[in-house]
C-alpha cells in the first residue's frame, strides 16, 4: 500500500509483490556440484553466513525438484574485512535477460553540487534482500551445503539483472523527493542528499530515511553519514563544497602510491597484477587532475602484453623503462591530488534550444537557426 503512494507503475508494483526473473528461455535442470572443496575455516564461515541468511529470511530450506537449478557458492571479502556469501550464478545468468540501463554516479553529484551546500549520505542494509522473489522462481536460486538444499527467497548478489531491478525500484523514491525540491543522487543502495543549510539538509535526510523505512528498507546507520557536512564521502570520493574540489580518501591515495612504487622497482610482473593497478588508476582519475594523461602508456603496455600472450592475464609481462616517468608521476603526485568539481569561468558561452519545428543557437552577437524537414 505504501508503494502505491509513490508509484502507479504496474511493473514496479508487481516486483514488490514478487520478482519474476526475466529468462530468455527456461533454464535447463542443474543439480549443481554435489561436494565442495572448502577449507575448515571456510566451512565455519559459510555455516555462519547461511544461519544468518536463514534468520533474515533471505533463504529457506527446500527439497529437490526435477526442474530446479542448483549453483555453487563461495565467499568474498567486503571492504570492511568481513566475508560476503555469494551464490555463483554465472551459468544461470546465461539465460537471464539483463537490460542495459544508466546509473547515476559521481558525475551526477558533481553536477548538483554548489558552493557551500551541506551533504549527507544514506546507505541501505542488505538492499537486494528487500526485493522478494516470486515463489515460482525461487527454484532457480538454489545451492547445496552440508547435504542440505537451500533457495533464496529474495534477490541475491550475483544475479545479473539485480542492479537493473533495484535501480528501477529506486526511481519512484528519488522522483518523490525531487518533486519536493530535494536534491539527491542515488547509486544502487547509496544515496547522496544535499541542502542549502545544515537544517535543510538534515530535514531532507530525515524525509528520505522515513520514506525508505516505510517502503520496507533498512538504513545502515554505521555506513551512513547522517550529520550534514560540507565535506562528504560518496562512491569512493570526497566531495568538498567549500573549495569545490573532489579528492580521494587517504587510504586510496596510499594504495596507489605503494603500487606505483612497487612497479617502479620491478622489471616483470603478472599481466593481471598490472591490469589491476591500472584499474585503480582509472577509477581514481575523476579526482586526479591530469591523471588520464598518465594512464595511456600503461594501458598501451598492458594491451601489447595481452596481444603477445593470447589474452592470458596469468602470463608475465615486462615493465620497460619508458613507463618510469608515468609511474613516478603517480608516486609523487597522488598524495596531494584533487580535481575541481566544476569550472565556472568560461571563455565562450553558447546557448542552444530546439522545438518540434526547429532549432536555434547564439554565441555573443552571432546567431543561427534552422527548421526541421518534414521527413
What are the tens digits of pLDDT across the range 93-144?
Answer: 999 999 999 999 999 999 999 999 999 999 999 999 999 999 999 999 999 9
Per-residue pLDDT tens over the stretch 45-87: 999 999 999 999 999 999 999 999 999 998 887 767 777 889 9
Separation of alpha carbons 261 and 279, rounded Å: 16
CATH 3.30.70.270 corresponds to the domain 106-126+163-247: yes
* Torsion sign across C-alpha atoms 223, 196, 246, 102: positive
CA distance 198 to 183: 14
User: Which residue has 508509484 as its cell numbers?
Assistant: 7
Locate the domains of the chain by residue range: 9-100+131-159, 106-126+163-247, 250-340
Is the model's pLDDT at 344 over the cut of 80? no
pLDDT of 208 strictly over 70? yes
Q: Above pLDDT 90, what percent of the chain?
A: 87
Residues 270, 253, 194: CA angle, nearest 5 degrees? 125
What's the CATH number for 9-100+131-159?
A: 3.10.10.10
Reduced to 3 states (helix: H, G, I; strand: E, B; else coil), residue 270 is strand
Amino acid at each position: 500500500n505504501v508503494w502505491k503512494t509513490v508509484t502507479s507503475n504496474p511493473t514496479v508494483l508487481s516486483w514488490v509483490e514478487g520478482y519474476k526473473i526475466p529468462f530468455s528461455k527456461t533454464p535447463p535442470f542443474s543439480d549443481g556440484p554435489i561436494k565442495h572443496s572448502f577449507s575448515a575455516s571456510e566451512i565455519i564461515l559459510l555455516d555462519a553466513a547461511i544461519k544468518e541468511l536463514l534468520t533474515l529470511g533471505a533463504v529457506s530450506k527446500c527439497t529437490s525438484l526435477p526442474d530446479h537449478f542448483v549453483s555453487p557458492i563461495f565467499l568474498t571479502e567486503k571492504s570492511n574485512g568481513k566475508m560476503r556469501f555469494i551464490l555463483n550464478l554465472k551459468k544461470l545468468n546465461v539465460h537471464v535477460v539483463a537490460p542495459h540501463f544508466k546509473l547515476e554516479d559521481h558525475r551526477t553529484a558533481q553536477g548538483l553540487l554548489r558552493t557551500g551546500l551541506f551533504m549527507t549520505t544514506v546507505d541501505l542494509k542488505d538492499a537486494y534482500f528487500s526485493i522478494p522473489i516470486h515463489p515460482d522462481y525461487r527454484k532457480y536460486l538454489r545451492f547445496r551445503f552440508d547435504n542440505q538444499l537451500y533457495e533464496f527467497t529474495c534477490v541475491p548478489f550475483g544475479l545479473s539483472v539485480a542492479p537493473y531491478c533495484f535501480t528501477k525500484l529506486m526511481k519512484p523514491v528519488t522522483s518523490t523527493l525531487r518533486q519536493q525540491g530535494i536534491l539527491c543522487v542515488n547509486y544502487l543502495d547509496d544515496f547522496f542528499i544535499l541542502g542549502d543549510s545544515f537544517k535543510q539538509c538534515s530535514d531532507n535526510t530525515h524525509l528520505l530515511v522515513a520514506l525508505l523505512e516505510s517502503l520496507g528498507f533498512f538504513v545502515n546507520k554505521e555506513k551512513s553519514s547522517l550529520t550534514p557536512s560540507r565535506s562528504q564521502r560518496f562512491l569512493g570520493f570526497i566531495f568538498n563544497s567549500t573549495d569545490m574540489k573532489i579528492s580521494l580518501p587517504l587510504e586510496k591515495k596510499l594504495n596507489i602510491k605503494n603500487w606505483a612504487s612497487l612497479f617502479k622497482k620491478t622489471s616483470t610482473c603478472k599481466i593481471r597484477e598490472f591490469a589491476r593497478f591500472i584499474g585503480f588508476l582509472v577509477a581514481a582519475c575523476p579526482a586526479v587532475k591530469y591523471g588520464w594523461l598518465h594512464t595511456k602508456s600503461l594501458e598501451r603496455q598492458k594491451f601489447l602484453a595481452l596481444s603477445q600472450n593470447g589474452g592470458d592475464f596469468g602470463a608475465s609481462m615486462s615493465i620497460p623503462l619508458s613507463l618510469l616517468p608515468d609511474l613516478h608521476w603517480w608516486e609523487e603526485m597522488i598524495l596531494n591530488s584533487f580535481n575541481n568539481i566544476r569550472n565556472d569561468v568560461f571563455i565562450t558561452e553558447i546557448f542552444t534550444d530546439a522545438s518540434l519545428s526547429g532549432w536555434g543557437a547564439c554565441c555573443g552577437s552571432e546567431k543561427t537557426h534552422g527548421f526541421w524537414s518534414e521527413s
